[in-house]
């Protein structure tokens, strides 16, 4: 079995666009900004043997706000620039009631089956309650990047950090605990 770090996209990998205290995805490829420290944090995790899988909700496609082609161009760019193994995307809205939309764990569970991942030995890193709840439901350890958004917050999480660099230090430290 393998270990993975599941990562939310907006707010974890790239800068979220803030509107009224709430995070939103970039609306175009030109608006995409990879957060400081992310390339190095991902490289160090990859070198330590972790699979790196982005799990992202992109409901603006279903809502008709963002064209599918824009989201796909952002993902292609991220896969080119960063050492990611995969990006799994839910394009549904809450009303679609799919199991791949966080906070449900369907995307993590299907990735685990596909890649033979031990979920209990894996981490979910996110900046919103939906990410953390999905990770908890899947049986992963969770790391909450707390930006103080003006929205519902997770009630349970394993660790609270300020960025992916701090999250990577915790994940790498977990290797020492297992020895």
- pTM, rounded to two decimals: 0.96
CATH number assigned to the domain comprising residue 30 = 3.40.50.1000
The span from the CA of 176 to the CA of 179, in Å, is: 5
What Å distances lie between residue 142 and 81, 86, 154, CA to CA?
25, 19, 11
- The domain total for the chain is 1
pLDDT tens-digit series, residues 69-103: 999 999 999 999 999 999 999 999 988 889 999 99
**pLDDT score at 178:** 58
Catalytic residue positions, numbered: 8, 10
- Residue 17 lies in domain: 4-178
In sequence order, what DSSP letters do the residues of 1-24 get, joined into one string? -B-EEEE-SBTTTBPPEEETTEEE
Low-confidence ranges of the chain (pLDDT < 70): 176-179
């Amino acid at each position: 079995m393998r270990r993975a770090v599941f990562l939310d996209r907006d707010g974890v990998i790239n800068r979220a666009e803030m509107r009224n205290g709430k995070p939103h995805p970039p609306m175009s490829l030109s608006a995409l900004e990879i957060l400081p420290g992310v390339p190095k944090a991902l490289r160090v995790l990859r070198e330590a043997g972790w699979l790196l899988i982005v799990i992202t909700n992109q409901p603006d496609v279903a809502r008709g706000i963002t064209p599918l082609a824009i989201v796909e161009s952002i993902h292609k760019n991220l896969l080119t620039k960063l050492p990611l193994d995969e990006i799994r995307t839910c394009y549904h809205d809450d009303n679609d009631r799919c199991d791949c939309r966080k906070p449900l764990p369907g995307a993590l569970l299907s990735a685990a089956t596909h890649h033979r991942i031990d979920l209990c030995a894996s981490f979910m890193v996110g900046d919103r309650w939906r990410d953390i709840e999905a990770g908890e439901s899947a049986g992963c350890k969770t790391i909450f990047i707390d930006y103080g958004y003006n929205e519902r917050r997770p009630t349970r999480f394993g660790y609270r950090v300020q960025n992916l660099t701090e999250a990577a230090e915790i994940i790498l430290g977990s290797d020492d605990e297992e020895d």
